[in-house]
Amino acid sequence: MPAPRVGLFATCLTDTFFPSTARAVVRLLERLGCDVHFPMDQTCCGQMHYNTGYRDEARPLAAKYAQVFAGFDAIVAPSGSCGGMVREIHPELHGTSDAFARTYELSEFIVDVLGVTDVGAYFPHRVTYHPTCHSLRMLGVGDKPLRLLRAVRGLDLAELPEAESCCGFGGTFAVKNADTSTAMLGDKMRCVLNTGAEVLCAGDNSCLMHIGGGLSRLRTGVRTVHLAEILASTEEEPWAPTP
- Complex with another protein: residue 96 or 180, whichever CB lies closer: 180
Which secondary structure element, helix H or strand E, spans residue 178, and what is its range?
Answer: helix 178-194
d(CA 214, CA 114): 35
- Complex with another protein: residue 4 or 155, whichever CB lies closer: 4
Give 224's strand partners: 200
User: Minimum distance from CB of 4 to another protein (Å)?
Assistant: 18
Could you list the residues that contact another protein (CB under 8 A)? 10, 12, 14-19, 22-23, 38, 40-44, 46, 48-55, 57-58, 60-61, 64, 133-134, 136-138, 164-166, 168-185, 209-210, 212-214, 216-217, 242
- Complex with another protein: residue 177 or 234, whichever CB lies closer: 177
User: Minimum distance from CB of 105 to another protein (Å)?
Assistant: 15
d(CA 226, CA 216): 16
User: Minimum distance from CB of 156 to another protein (Å)?
Assistant: 26
- Complex with another protein: residue 155 or 160, whichever CB lies closer: 160
Residue closest to 239 by CA, chosen among 93, 20, 13: 20
In angstroms, the Cα distances linking 20 to 26, 226, 229, 242, 243 are 10, 9, 7, 7, 10
